[in-house]
Amino acid sequence: MSTYPTAEASVPTRFEYDEQARALVVSWRDGGSSKIPFQELRRGCPCAGCKGELGTPGRFDLDPELHPGEDELADIALVGNYGLKVVWGDGHDTGIYRFELLRGLGQPAPR
Stretch that binds Zn ion, among 5-13, 29-37, 65-73, 89-97 (CB under 5 A): 89-97
CB distance 24 to 99 below 8 Å: no
Among 95, 97, 99, 103, interactor with Zn ion by CB under 5 A: 95
State the DSSP code for 8: G
Stretch that binds Zn ion, among 2-10, 64-72, 88-96, 97-105 (CB under 5 A): 88-96
Name the residue nearer to Zn ion (CB basis): 47 or 66: 47
Kindly calculate the radius of gyration of the chain based on its CA atoms and give it in whole angstroms: 14
**Interacting positions 25-64 with Zn ion (CB under 5 A):** 45, 47, 50
Instruction: Return the beta strands (E) in the chain as ranges.
Output: 12-18, 23-28, 33-37, 73-79, 83-88, 96-98, 107-108
Told to check if 11 binds Zn ion by CB under 5 A, we report no
In whole angstroms, how close is the CB of 47 to Zn ion at the nearest point?
3
In whole angstroms, how close is the CB of 85 to Zn ion at the nearest point?
11
Q: Is 94 exposed, middle or buried (0-12, 13-18, 19+ CB in 10 A)?
A: middle
Q: Which residues bind Zn ion (CB under 5 A)?
A: 45, 47, 50, 95
